[in-house]
Amino acid sequence: MREMIEPSAATVFCLPFAGGSSHSYQELQRFTNSGVKLVGLDLPGRGSRFSEPLLKNLPAVVDDLFSQIKGRLSENYAIYGHSLGACLGYLLVKRIIREQCPLPFHLFVSGREAPSSPKKAENRHLLPRADFFDAVRQFEGTTNEVLENRELMDLFEPVLRADFQALDTYIYEKDLPFDVPITVMHGTDDHVTISDAQRWQEETTREISLLEFQGGHFFIFKNAKKIVEVFAQSAQSSFELAV
């Protein structure tokens, strides 16, 4: 008779979107269960690391993220990122491969076109304040109340500009696809097109899973329960394959 083995909780490292912190995915945290735990990561200049200098290029950000998780890569883990975080997740997997560390069982991305897709915007971090706020407003993640609060934005604006600079100055380099499955989550009313989302297939040897959800760029919060279920189902599948 085959011995029954209970899977341990899978860790999903959650990478921040522009302006985000380790607290950005609290809505998703509400729906975690015994099968999955979400671990939010802070970048310099925000959250628990507010006093540290901001990073303004993606390689430096990825170096920082890797240093945070490298001691935990023997765990059963996945990586998730939304928007900027999706690009960071892709680059973090590449870094993990270069370091010859254990790979994640899955990469989850949302609200972001594939890295190989042509850029739709450049140098947003150089825009005058009013124009920069208009660009931020288009993503619907920052309310007008916050954007019109001078004290809050004096704190928040440098963080957003640093993140936009890191993303807008990133230059994609074609490389061999990696052997990590990717689930791409897409909002029906997001600015990311289906064709751009499908191009994530170029980055993995596995067939991607493309899931659609109702909503705009921050559809993840209205669909938090379903997204955590996607994490848990993938974790269970990876456990079953490993046993």
Domain boundaries, the chain: 10-117+175-242
Residue 63 — φ and ψ, nearest 5°? -55, -45
Give the sheet arrangement for strand 10-15, strand by strand: 36-40, 10-15, 77-82, 107-110, 182-187, 209-213
- Report DSSP state, residue 38: E
Q: Is the separation of the CB atoms in 39 and 14 below 8 Å?
A: yes
Do residues 78 and 104 lie in contact, with contact meaning Cβ atoms separated by under 8 Å? yes
Q: Could you tell me the two tokens for 202?
A: 């170029």
Please tell me the class of the 10-117+175-242 domain.
Answer: alpha beta
Residues of the chain with pLDDT under 50: 1-5
Active site residues: 83
Tell me if 186 sits within 8 A of 197, measured CB to CB: yes
8 Å CB contact between 177 and 205? yes
Residues ≥6 apart with Cβ < 8 Å to 120: 113, 191
CA 44 from chain centre, in angstroms, equals 16
pLDDT of amino acid 140: 67
pLDDT at position 2 is 38
